[in-house]
Amino acid sequence: MQSDTWMLGDMAVSRIGFGAMRLTGSTAFDDRDAVPSDRARVTAVLRRAVELGVNHIDTAAFYFSPLRSANELINSALAPYADDLLIATKVGPARDASGASYAARPDQLRGHVEANLRQLGRDHLDLVYLRRMTQSSIAEHFGALAELREAGLVRHLGVSSVSLDHLAEAQAIAPVVAVQNRFSVDVHPGCDVLEACGAQGIAFVPYFAIAGSKREAGADPAGAQDERIQQVARVHGVTAAQVRLAWTLAHGPHVLAIPGTGDLAHLEQNIAAGRLRLSGEDLAALEGVGDGESTGTGGAAAGNRG
């Protein structure tokens, strides 16, 4: 079981969830040449994740590859859904039938929300993020989602790839329960959004926590990891990916992780990382890894005590 939980909206979720993109066989958002994943294998991964206590799954209608859709895989593996399972999805980026990506207009968001509803087999979505693309203001897009929330198609709203100004802009329109930004041990720009979320009781859900600078391509093999990560991993007898996840969770009780995998062994390792507690010495050793700006150990140590 997971080490602890956080209230995401009005649902308590385990702090290690599951990201669905890699279920399809894709290694990138708009990967049109992906080899379709093995259906039986990824179905087993989804069901095992729930057995191990995962009750927060992050997905999107634009997570698809030839012959595979993450939403359809989730539906076929897990429906009828458990009452305590929260499925989060996101809109903003989109893909046409050929797989080509584009940025959705505000008037297209209802159709994209409805596509998620159909694929997941639900009459409402628990949590929908607006993933900001290149727009400087998110008010029009977020306003369109707020209307869908009022209509009952969406229960809770989040924002992704945002600054503090974007977060405030959204909050002036409707409540925000979660922020999904890029954040990892080796790529962590200023932590102002993370800290603001903690102060306001908003979940902070990093993406690429394991992959780091590799992004959609996945985690580096152990030999390619920074020596400081490998050293901490050796001390604890764990993998580099588990150290990355533990470092992420150490930044506060409001920080959730959504590692994705299509492999049962990796799934169990990811879940186990929720029980790994890094010491102050470990966190200090990991300062300065990669090219990102350091966030300091103070917040991490405090989060570790939580």
- Please report, in tens digits, the pLDDT of each residue of the chain (306 residues total): 334 899 999 999 999 999 999 899 866 665 666 677 899 999 999 999 999 999 999 999 999 988 899 999 999 999 999 999 999 999 999 999 888 999 999 999 999 999 999 999 999 999 999 999 999 999 999 999 999 999 999 999 999 999 999 999 999 999 999 999 999 998 876 689 999 999 999 999 999 898 755 444 445 554 456 899 999 999 999 999 999 999 999 999 999 999 999 999 999 999 999 999 999 999 999 987 865 443 333 333 333 322
How much is the pLDDT for 297? 32
Which structure tokens are listed for 283? 């966190």
Which structure tokens are listed for 2? 């997971």
- CB neighbourhood size of 169 (10 A): 18
How much is the pLDDT for 98? 85
How much is the pLDDT for 50? 98
- The residue length of the chain stands at 306
**Would you name the residues annotated as active-site residues?**
63
How much is the pLDDT for 188? 76
How much is the pLDDT for 287? 86
Residue type at 33 in one-letter notation: D
How much is the pLDDT for 2? 39
Fold category of 5-305 in CATH: TIM Barrel (3.20.20)
Q: Where are the domains of the chain?
A: 5-305
